[in-house]
Structure 1
Amino acid sequence: MWETYVCGLCVAAIVAVVLLRQTFGGNVPVACAALAAMVLVVLLFGRKVIREADPVTGPVHTATAAFVAVVIGLWLVAIVAAAPAVAAIPALYPLIFATLPLTAALTLTFLITLAPLALAILTHGPAWPSLPAVVAATLVGAVAAPIIGTTIMSTLRQRQQLTQTVAELADSRAEAARLSRRAGVAAERERLAREIHDTLAQGFTSIVALAQAVQAESDTDPAAAARHVELIRTTARDNLAEARTMVTQLTPAALQEGSLAAALRRQCDTLAAETGIAVEVGIGDDLPQLGMATDVVLLRSAQEAMTNVRRHSGASALAVQLRPVAGSVQLCVADNGIGLHPDHVDGFGLRGMRARLAQIGGTLSVSTPEGGGVRIVVAVPAGPTP
C-alpha cells in the first residue's frame, strides 16, 4: 500500500512537471529522471529498509539513514530542476516516519516542508507573485506532516504490540500444552498404577499365597495342594486376561464376561476358596443400570477391600452387600478381623479407591464397628455414568 502511495505521488509529480513546463519551465528531463530514480529506489530497497527499521525503540541503522538521504536528495534535485516536482513531497513523509524515530522524523519533515519555500525565496525573491501560493502549500504540508507521521507511528506501535501479544499467546499456548501433556501423563500413570494395583498385583499376591500353601500341603494334604494348584492356574489365567484387557481398553475382563453382580460373586468365591474365609454375599435384585465406568469403580473397590481382608484382617468371616440406597448404590464390605490400628493411615489402595470414586462423584467411608473388624462403605450415584 505504501509503495503504491509513494510511487503514485512520484508519477503524479512527473506528470505535473511535464504538463506545467510552459508555465514554470526548468530542466524537465533532470526533474523527471530524479523522480523516476526515487520510484526505483523505493521499489528496490524501501520494503527491506522499512521492515528492518525500528523507529519506535531501535537505533537508526546506516542503511536506513542512507536510504532516507538518497530519497530526499533525489527529491531536492527534482525541485531544483523543476518547481512542480514539489508535488512529490507527501511521498517523503511515510518513508521518513516509517524509518526514523519520531523526534528526528518530525524535525526532518518540517525542514523538508520549508525547503520549497526557502528555494522559492532564494530563486525569485520575496516579491515573487506566486510566493503566497507557495506559502499556502507550505502551511498545508506543515499541518499534514505531523498528522501523517502520528498515524504511521501509531500503526507501527500497534503492529509491534500485536506481534508481542501474538508471541506471548503462542508461548502461553505452548506452556499450557506442555503442562497439559505433563498432567495427562501423570494422570495416566496414576490410573495405570491403580489398575495394576487392583488387578495384576492382587492376582500375583494370591498366587504367592497359594504357592506357599501348596508347598506346606504337598506332603500332608495332596488333595488340598492339588486344589490350590488349580486355583493358581485359574488366578494366573485371570491375570493374563486382565493384562491383555489393560493393553487393549482397560475394561475389566470380569465385567466383559457378565454383570457387576456376577463379577462380584466370582470375586467372593475366589476369596473364600483361597483363604477359607466364610464370605456372605448379598446383592439387591433391583439394582439400577449404572454404566461401565461406575461398574469398574465398584468392582475395583470390592477387589481392594477383599485384598485388605486377605492381607491384614485375620478375619474368619466377611459380609459383602451391594444394594440401592436413597438415590445411590452402596457397596458394603465388613469383616470380623482385628480392625484398624489407632494410627492407621490410608495406603495406596485406599487412596486409589478415593481417587476413582471422586471421578464419578462417589464417596468412601472406613470405620471400625463396636463388634470389631473393619467396615468399608462405598456409595456411588445411581444415575448412569458414561
Structure 2
Amino acid sequence: MSLRLWDVYFLVVAAAVTAAIIIVDGFSFELRAGSIAAIATMAALHILVGRPLVRREAVGTAALLVCLTHLLLFGIAIACVPLATWLMFAVLPIFFMMVTLRRAIALVVVANVIPVLLELHADPGGIGIDLVIAAISTASGVCIGVWITRMIEQSNERADLIAELEASRAEQERLSHTAGVAAERNRLAGEIHDTLAQGFTSIITLVQAADPGLKDERLALAVRTARENLAESRALIAALSPAALASASLPEAVRRQAARFSEESSVPSTVRVAGEPRHLPTPVEVVLLRAVQEALTNVRRHAGAGEVAVLLSYAASSVRLVVRDDGCGFDPASSEGFGLAGMRARAAQVGGAVTVHGAEGTTIEVEIPA
C-alpha cells in the first residue's frame, strides 16, 4: 500500500470511528468531545509528524515517541468512549510502518492490553471475554504486521535488484560502446600505420635511392610532399591512440594506471618492468594499455583484493603483461565476462594471447609477439 493510500485509509477509519462516537448514545458531551479530540490529535500527529518520518524510513527515537504518543491518545479515546477501540485498525499498522519489527510487536501487545485494563477498571466481572478478544486481536495484528513487513522487505529487495540490473546493463552498454570505439580507433590507426605511413616511407626511400642529392626539383618536391604526408599520417595515428600513450611511454602509462587504481580503490599496487623497454608498434602498446586498464577495473569491482602486482616484461621477440591480485578469484571457464572477452579479441588482433588463472586470487597474462 502506497503512503498516500495509507493516509486515506487512516483518515477514513478515524472519520468512521468519530461518526460512530457522535451517533452512539449513553455518553456525555464531555466524554464524546474528549474522545473525538484524541482522535483528531492522532490524525494531526500522523499527518504532520508521522508521515514525514515514514517517508524518510526513520525508525529511531523520534518514530518511537510518535508511536507512544499514539498509544497514549488511543487510551484516552477509549477511556472516554470504549467504542473508540475500533481505532485499533488504524493504529496497529502505524507501528509496523514506523519502528522495528520487535518494537512494533511490543506496541501491538500494549495496544491490545489497554482496552482490557480499562474494562477491568470499569467492570471487573466481564474481563474473561475481553482477554479472549485481546488475544485474538494481538495474534492477528502481529501476523498481519509481520506479513506486511516481509512483503515490504521483498518489494524493496526486488526494487534494489531491478536497479542493480539496470545499472549493470547500462554499464555493459557503456563498456561495449567504449570497446567498440576503441577497437575502431585502433583499427584505423593500424590501417594508417600499415598502409599510408609505410607507403610514404617507401616513396621517400625509393626517390632518395634514385636521386640521393635530390637535384631534380620534381623529385625533391615529391620527397617533401611525401614527408609532409608522412607527418600527417603519424599525427593521425597519435590522435587515434590512447591519450595516456600520447604523452608517456608504455611503462610510464602503466604506472599511471596503477597509481590511479590505488588512489580510487585504496588497494596498494606495485609495477615492475623487466627487460629493456623499447618502442613497440602503436597497436601493440594500445592492446597492452587497454589490458591493464580492464584488469585493474575487474580487480576494483569484483576481486576484493588487498594487493595488486603488475609486471611488464620485455623479451627479445615478445612483450608480456601480467596483472596479479590476491582477491577471491573465480573460475574463468564458467564466469568469463565481456571485459575478458574483449581483451582476448584485442590481443588476437595483434597476434597475442590472454591467459587467465583464478584459483588463488586472479592472474591475467597477456603475451604479444613484438
**1:200 to 1:120, Cα distance in 2 relative to 1, 3 A:** same
Q: Aligned with 1:216: secondary structure?
A: coil
2:110 equivalent in structure 1: 111
The corresponding residue for 1:50 is 54
Cα shift at 1:105: 1.3
Question: Partner residue of 2:292?
Answer: none
Match of 1:189, SS state, is helix
Q: Distance in 1 between matches of 2:28 and 2:104?
A: 30
Give, in angstroms, the shift of residue 187 of structure 1.
Answer: 0.7
Letter in 2 for 1:16: A
CA distance, structure 2, for counterparts of residue 95 and residue 108 of structure 1: 10
Distance 1:106 1:182 in 2: 53
**Cα shift at 1:49:** 1.2
Equivalent positions of 1:16-27 (< 5 A) are: 16-22=20-26, 27=31
Shift of 1:184: 2.8
CA distance in 2, matches of 1:10, 1:174: 47
Distance 1:73 1:120 in 2: 16
Q: Distance in 2 between matches of 1:158 and 1:24?
A: 48
Structure-1-length-normalised TM-score: 0.53
For residue 209 of structure 2, the aligned residue among 197, 208, 213 is 213
Does 2:139 align with 1:138? Answer: no
Q: After superposition, what is the alpha-carbon deviation per residue over 1:106-135, rounded to whole angstroms, capped at 9, x for unaligned?
A: 122022112212211111121x4xx56645
Question: What is the distance in 1 between the residues matched to 2:317 and 2:73?
Answer: 91
Say which SS state the counterpart of residue 26 (structure 2) adopts. Answer: helix
Answer whether contact 2:201 2:226 (CA < 8 A) is retained: no
Structure 2 counterpart of 1:33: 37
Identity of aligned pairs, percent? 29
Task: Tell me whether 1:68 sits opposite 2:54 in the alignment.
Answer: no
Deviation at 1:171, TM superposition (A): 4.0
Matches within 5 A, 1:214-293: 215-216=211-212, 218=214, 226=218, 228=219
1:203 to 1:29, Cα distance in 2 relative to 1, 3 A: same
- Are the equivalent residues in 2 in contact too, given 1:64–1:99 (CA < 8 A)? yes
Corresponding residue of 1:325: none
SS in structure 1 at match of 2:197: helix
Tell me if the contact between 1:35 and 1:74 (Cα under 8 Å) persists in the aligned partners. Answer: yes
Q: Separation in 2 of the partners of 1:11 and 1:151?
A: 27
Distance 1:164 1:91 in 2: 29
Q: Structure 1 168/46 Cα, relative in aligned 2: closer, same or farther at 3 Å? A: same
Kindly provide the CA deviation profile for residues 15-69 of structure 1, in whole angstroms up to 9, marking residues without a partner as x.
1212223379970000011111111111122221113336xxxxx4121111111
SS at match of 2:98: coil
Aligned length: 242
Task: Tell which structure's C-alpha radius of gyration is larger.
Answer: 1
Aligned to 1:165: 161
1:312-343 Cα distance to aligned partner (Å, 9 max, x none): xxxxxxxxxxxxxxxxxxxxxxxxxxxxxxx9
CA distance in 2, matches of 1:215, 1:344: 36
Written as runs of structure 1 = structure 2, the 5 A alignment for 1:284-363 is 355=349
* Matches of 1:344 and 1:135, distance apart in 2: 90
Equivalent position of 2:91 in the other structure: 92
Q: CA RMSD in A?
A: 3.9
* 2:119 alignment partner AA: A
Aligned pair in 2 of structure 1 residues 198, 125: CA closer, same or farther (>3 Å)? same
CA spacing shift, 1:188–1:32, aligned 2, 3 Å: same
Q: Distance in 1 between matches of 2:30 and 2:82?
A: 7
Q: Is the 8 A contact 2:214 2:220 kept in 1?
A: no
Quote the Cα distance in structure 1 between the aligned partners of 2:167 and 2:75: 48
Unaligned 5+ segments in structure 2 are: 238-315, 319-344, 352-370
Contact kept in structure 1, 2:197 and 2:233, CA below 8 Å: no
Q: Take 1:214 and 1:101, find their aligned partners in 2: how far apart are those partners?
A: 91
CA pair 117-29 structure 1, distance change in 2 beyond 3 A: same
Q: Is the 8 A contact 1:98 1:152 kept in 2?
A: no
* Structure 1 unaligned regions, length at least 5: 55-59, 247-342, 346-350, 358-386
